[in-house]
């Protein structure tokens, strides 16, 4: 029989990995185009939605998919729906999840 703490840690890691694989599917975005239309920099958009500029950059480059609340904030900043800003494509490879970026979101 295994160590309970170890078993819990392993199970949590597997669950986190499964969530990352199935939830963090890379999305295409229209952020660059929408920012250009408003003549906003990444820093200006970040300030509007309460995240670091690096978070906006990571979303635009496909390295990070925003949380649902952040996706709504971004869409509302442009007066758009989430579907008008983020284009979900099921057959894409999973995006890299970055806990440091998520921590920045949660802090703001």
**In the block, which residue shows the tokens 């170890």?**
6
Q: How confident is the model at residue 18 (pLDDT cuts 50, 70, 90)?
A: very low
**Domain residue spans in the chain?**
25-107
Question: Which DSSP state fits 92?
Answer: S
Which has the closest alpha carbon to 70: 41, 49, 98? 49
Query: What are 50-107's pLDDT values in tens digits?
Result: 999 999 999 999 888 899 999 999 999 999 999 999 987 666 555 555 555 555 545 5
Structure pTM? 0.61
CATH fold label, 25-107: 434 Repressor (Amino-terminal Domain) (1.10.260)
Per the structure block, which two tokens stand in for 27?
A: 């999305």
Q: Of 73, 67, 74, give the one whose Cα is nearest residue 99.
A: 67
User: What are the pLDDT digits (tens) for 24-35?
Assistant: 455 688 999 999
């Amino acid at each position: 029989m295994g160590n309970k703490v170890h078993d819990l840690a392993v199970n949590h890691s597997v669950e986190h990995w499964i969530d990352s694989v199935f939830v963090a599917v890379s999305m295409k975005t229209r952020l660059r185009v929408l920012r250009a239309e408003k003549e906003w920099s990444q820093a200006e958009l970040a300030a509007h939605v309460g995240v670091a500029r690096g978070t906006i950059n990571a979303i635009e480059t496909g390295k990070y998919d925003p949380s649902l609340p952040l996706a709504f904030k971004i869409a509302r900043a442009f007066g758009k729906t989430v579907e008008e800003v983020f284009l979900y494509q099921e057959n894409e490879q999973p995006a890299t999840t970055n806990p440091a970026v998520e921590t920045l979101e949660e802090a703001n």
